[in-house]
Chains A and B, each alone.
Chain A
């Protein structure tokens, strides 16, 4: 891995400055069944293609943001600061 990532604060930086927290997951709203809970905690889609991920600029401004990355080519299509309200709207 040696690509660049656009930090929403700092601009393009070496990927080594960041840590990746994996695909974006959605936390159940209500008390989940055991199956729903384990699937939320342990299961990931692991796609070969574009996926949304959490990234943290650990050796920089320490901001969390989301990136859309193609897991096959490591091409980063976009990065943005996550807006929960927007996600809520998208879900509807």
Chain B
């Protein structure tokens, strides 16, 4: 029922909003929360409790507790008392089998015996053992709060924003606003965040509602603002989180109609609701008295106000029917009421401060924990620092043992005083251990309403004081947060070459290689490979890493990085290079073309491009040489035209001398190709006559099209990665990361010719010298299968009658050679031409013969033709 409009209320009574609960429309005003609107419409039961499925109603009405959690528009566990109404929103109760008013699982509340006490299923459900899967299935179904609709897809989009604040004020109450104003007046850039709705403040950036989730090192404060997570970096953090009202612990303290004073005042003052007809107030501080005054003003009949600072009531028992409050008995005197306001004092909300290392001290006078020793860069102001607290230790609590009903210490997790006492009885004498065992303070309220009561109870039962019991560790997040918000937007980066769309048009099957999308093949890998051998093919190799290394020290720089020589290279010549670490391990490979005395063009593998760039830049920083390195991977496209007719195709695209004398194997040349300035590298990864063209990316499609057109008469075919892998294997060219791993070195990977150990120094030289000293152990060799079966990559190499001795790294069927071929790591004594070993294939063993020279064109005649 609404009261007449009053000044200061949050409602705009001229603007109506309608949403639905159970499909039934609920009318609200702009300014309402779902909770306030439902309360105004007469709804009293808002949820069913976690374990016992007891009816629960509004308790804190400030977004602290779990009592009002419902699913709003598919998002579970929304505290609807703090969630502003939205037109057309669909609200559903959760943790209910049936309805809020009639929940089947309330049986758990009534059942006696082994079902309910703390830790019950560790004890009860382990026998008989075979029944555990049944128990588990049931438990998983009833446990947890809220359900995600897995089929619904992503209903909400969340974002993450990085922001800075010279001063970040957490909490927009009186003290927080004062601090914000003061800092703003001093000319600082100030941001203020508050969990609730606060008014704007001049000169201050106010984020409301926004929940600070924690304080991390470097002044990082993530703020949950609903759809956006602000990652604030703050120079100074002012914590003005205020206090949290504490409940009292007595039988029936969870009944619908038992509320905290601020919640009651909010209903009246913010949303103009008359919360009840008859009320009783039990309080240990002024908050209860203020609530009583507000109730009286709202026309609620006050049937009693008990100030426990003066009247030491010994026993309080709330009674109800169907979980809804009917009356309260105070020291045996029964008073009827439909609202019981309980105030157990205010506890400073110190959690954020404790996270950053403040010490938490107990104040026995006021019965609260106060943060002290606030670290540098953090300031605590207002009541969170203990200012203006007037409470007293409630004496009349925790007497629920007299069997007058359940007495809740923690309403989120349904932990009663009995559970805690049982934990003490079982030897959990530390509050940290009791927390883990009983889950007290581990529910959605994160201890806001149960931390202090549980410590008080522990102190009492152990006959110690609260200071000795101490507090549990405060950890982020301080407020619950949706996982979607932490994840932000899904982001899967994909790199595409400038020819990508042509591949799609040509029917390419795309695959991932690192972050690149590349054609696996155009539907016929073997046919594509064959056309390279028989005529001509073209492959997009734009994904290769490409760098320009320039400077007076460029040659010396490369000499130091690579095991082979570069100083003696003539301009416009090309060399193959393998990068090693100082541990002698193979990192990457590629080609190096010398463009002039001081300029080199270096290519790397597609997936190694980033690492090689970092590697080059790092050594350049260490050595401080006169070298500049420019990454041109994205700037340049590259295609490789390969096959016996490649020269003929190229002739119609460029005017330069392409004869074997004019441009021989491992020569580089600047030329116009199809009108595009290009660098032509005569290299051949696939074992045939080949030209690799490097040119500006924007011309990718143009050059590609021109090549396909020029090759039409020769039956040119584009080929993908898979045919390339067949072709390179025929040549025994290694693939870094496929045939090598982080342990491989060039000597044992059968490339001893590349390591010029007579050079003064190069990265990895000393380690390679030691490998040579100790002798080669496992070698990378080629093999062919005797009966033509292709083993799996990763299959084991076995010697007859012994254990595994090696592994297959690459294997393919070669349509050209009509053989199953591959490469494998085998012990040195097996690594001799013609020796044989066994390979596991389909659960059996097949014989393979070692080959040390390329399977195809071992003399490289076709490559050099």
Chain A residues, CB < 8 A from B614: 19, 56, 58, 62
Q: Which listed residue, B582, B618, B624, touches A41 by the CB 8 Å rule?
A: B582
- Provide the A52-86 mask, 1 if CB < 8 A to any CB of B, else 0: 00101010001111000000011000000111110
Q: Are A85 and B624 interface neighbours, CB within 8 A?
A: yes
Given the complex of chains A and B, what is the CA–CA distance between A65 and B618 in angstroms? 9
Given the complex of chains A and B, what is the CA–CA distance between A83 and B621 in angstroms? 8
Q: Which listed residue, B218, B613, B621, B767, touches A74 by the CB 8 Å rule?
A: B218
Interface centre among A37, A73, A82 (most CB of B within 10 A): A37
Given the complex of chains A and B, what is the CA–CA distance between A29 and B783 in angstroms? 42
Given the complex of chains A and B, what is the CA–CA distance between A82 and B769 in angstroms? 30
Given A21-B618, A27-B582, A64-B618, A1–B624 Cβ distance below 8 Å? no
Chain A minimum-CB-distance residue to B583: A41
Q: Would you call A32 an interface residue if the criterion is a C-beta within 8 Å of the partner chain's C-beta atoms?
A: yes
Interface centre among B614, B766, B767, B770 (most CB of A within 10 A): B766
Given the complex of chains A and B, what is the CA–CA distance between A84 and B770 in angstroms? 28
Given A41-B767, A85-B624, A1–B617 Cβ distance below 8 Å? no
B222 to chain A, nearest CB (A): 10
Chain B minimum-CB-distance residue to A64: B621
Q: Which listed residue, A3, A21, A27, A62, touches B217 by the CB 8 Å rule?
A: A3
Given the complex of chains A and B, what is the CA–CA distance between A21 and B721 in angstroms? 33
B557 to chain A, nearest CB (A): 13
Given A40-B582, A56-B614, A58-B614, A84–B217 Cβ distance below 8 Å? no
Q: Give 16 A-B pairs besides A31-B766, A85-B624 with Cβ atoms closer than 8 angstroms.
A: A1-B217, A2-B216, A2-B217, A2-B220, A28-B766, A32-B766, A34-B770, A37-B766, A41-B582, A63-B617, A64-B617, A64-B618, A73-B217, A74-B218, A82-B621, A82-B622
Q: Would you call B162 an interface residue if the criterion is a C-beta within 8 Å of the partner chain's C-beta atoms?
A: yes
Q: Would you call B138 an interface residue if the criterion is a C-beta within 8 Å of the partner chain's C-beta atoms?
A: no
Given the complex of chains A and B, what is the CA–CA distance between A16 and B769 in angstroms? 38
Q: Are A14 and B162 interface neighbours, CB within 8 A?
A: yes
Chain A residues, CB < 8 A from B731: none
Give 8 closest A-B pairs by Cβ, nearest first.
A3-B218, A84-B624, A64-B621, A2-B216, A2-B220, A41-B583, A4-B218, A2-B217
Q: Are A56 and B767 interface neighbours, CB within 8 A?
A: no
Chain A residues, CB < 8 A from B122: none
Q: Would you call B233 an interface residue if the criterion is a C-beta within 8 Å of the partner chain's C-beta atoms?
A: yes
Q: Would you call B130 an interface residue if the criterion is a C-beta within 8 Å of the partner chain's C-beta atoms?
A: no
Chain A residues, CB < 8 A from B770: 34, 37
Chain A residues, CB < 8 A from B766: 28, 31-32, 37
Interface size on A, residues (CB 8 A): 31
Within 8 A of A (CB), among B766-803: 766-767, 769-770
Chain B minimum-CB-distance residue to A82: B621
Chain B residues, CB < 8 A from A42: 583
**Can you give 16 A-B contacts (C-beta < 8 A)?**
A1-B217, A2-B216, A2-B217, A2-B220, A27-B582, A28-B766, A31-B769, A37-B770, A54-B618, A58-B614, A63-B617, A65-B621, A73-B217, A74-B218, A82-B622, A84-B624
Q: Would you call B623 an interface residue if the criterion is a C-beta within 8 Å of the partner chain's C-beta atoms?
A: yes
B549 to chain A, nearest CB (A): 15
Given the complex of chains A and B, what is the CA–CA distance between A2 and B218 in angstroms? 6
Q: Are A4 and B233 interface neighbours, CB within 8 A?
A: yes
Q: Are B623 and A84 interface neighbours, CB within 8 A?
A: yes
B220 to chain A, nearest CB (A): 4
Q: Are B218 and A83 interface neighbours, CB within 8 A?
A: no
Given the complex of chains A and B, what is the CA–CA distance between A81 and B578 in angstroms? 29
Given the complex of chains A and B, what is the CA–CA distance between A7 and B622 in angstroms? 17
Chain A minimum-CB-distance residue to B614: A56
Q: Which listed residue, A14, A63, A84, touches B622 by the CB 8 Å rule?
A: A84
Interface size on B, residues (CB 8 A): 20
Chain B residues, CB < 8 A from A32: 766
Given the complex of chains A and B, what is the CA–CA distance between A14 and B622 in angstroms? 24
Within 8 A of B (CB), among A14-33: 14-15, 19, 21, 27-28, 31-32
Interface centre among B216, B618, B622 (most CB of A within 10 A): B622
Within 8 A of A (CB), among B195-222: 216-218, 220
Chain B residues, CB < 8 A from A1: 217
Q: Are B623 and A74 interface neighbours, CB within 8 A?
A: no
Within 8 A of A (CB), among B741-769: 766-767, 769
Chain B minimum-CB-distance residue to A76: B218
Q: Are A37 and B767 interface neighbours, CB within 8 A?
A: yes
Chain A minimum-CB-distance residue to B623: A84
Interface centre among A64, A65, A74, A83 (most CB of B within 10 A): A64
Chain B minimum-CB-distance residue to A12: B233
Chain B residues, CB < 8 A from A27: 582, 622
Chain A residues, CB < 8 A from B217: 1-3, 73-74
B782 to chain A, nearest CB (A): 31
Given the complex of chains A and B, what is the CA–CA distance between A85 and B621 in angstroms? 11
Chain B minimum-CB-distance residue to A62: B617
Given the complex of chains A and B, what is the CA–CA distance between A2 and B613 in angstroms? 26
B169 to chain A, nearest CB (A): 20
Chain A minimum-CB-distance residue to B220: A2
- Provide the B442-464 mask, 1 if CB < 8 A to any CB of A, else 0: 00000000000000000000000
A66 to chain B, nearest CB (A): 9
A11 to chain B, nearest CB (A): 12
Chain A residues, CB < 8 A from B769: 31
Chain A minimum-CB-distance residue to B582: A41
Given the complex of chains A and B, what is the CA–CA distance between A81 and B617 in angstroms? 13
B302 to chain A, nearest CB (A): 51
Chain B residues, CB < 8 A from A2: 216-218, 220
Chain A minimum-CB-distance residue to B624: A84
Chain B residues, CB < 8 A from A85: 624
A80 to chain B, nearest CB (A): 11
Within 8 A of A (CB), among B601-626: 613-614, 617-618, 621-624
A28 to chain B, nearest CB (A): 8
A9 to chain B, nearest CB (A): 13
Given the complex of chains A and B, what is the CA–CA distance between A32 and B624 in angstroms? 22
Given the complex of chains A and B, what is the CA–CA distance between A62 and B618 in angstroms? 10
Chain B minimum-CB-distance residue to A29: B761
Given the complex of chains A and B, what is the CA–CA distance between A42 and B583 in angstroms? 9
B23 to chain A, nearest CB (A): 45
Chain B residues, CB < 8 A from A3: 217-218
Chain A residues, CB < 8 A from B216: 2
Given the complex of chains A and B, what is the CA–CA distance between A19 and B614 in angstroms? 10
Q: Are A83 and B624 interface neighbours, CB within 8 A?
A: yes
Chain B residues, CB < 8 A from A73: 217
Given the complex of chains A and B, what is the CA–CA distance between A37 and B771 in angstroms? 13
Given the complex of chains A and B, what is the CA–CA distance between A40 and B766 in angstroms? 11
B64 to chain A, nearest CB (A): 27
Chain A residues, CB < 8 A from B623: 84
Given the complex of chains A and B, what is the CA–CA distance between A34 and B766 in angstroms? 9
Given the complex of chains A and B, what is the CA–CA distance between A63 and B618 in angstroms? 8
Given the complex of chains A and B, what is the CA–CA distance between A74 and B216 in angstroms? 12
Given the complex of chains A and B, what is the CA–CA distance between A42 and B585 in angstroms? 13
Chain B minimum-CB-distance residue to A14: B162
Given the complex of chains A and B, what is the CA–CA distance between A41 and B217 in angstroms? 32
Chain A residues, CB < 8 A from B583: 41-42
Chain B residues, CB < 8 A from A19: 614
Given the complex of chains A and B, what is the CA–CA distance between A74 and B623 in angstroms? 28
Given the complex of chains A and B, what is the CA–CA distance between A27 and B761 in angstroms? 12
- Provide the B619-639 mask, 1 if CB < 8 A to any CB of A, else 0: 001111000000000000000
Given the complex of chains A and B, what is the CA–CA distance between A39 and B596 in angstroms? 39
- Provide the B130-169 mask, 1 if CB < 8 A to any CB of A, else 0: 0000000000000000000000000000000010000000
Given the complex of chains A and B, what is the CA–CA distance between A79 and B613 in angstroms? 22
Chain A residues, CB < 8 A from B220: 2
B761 to chain A, nearest CB (A): 8
Chain B minimum-CB-distance residue to A42: B583
Chain B minimum-CB-distance residue to A65: B621
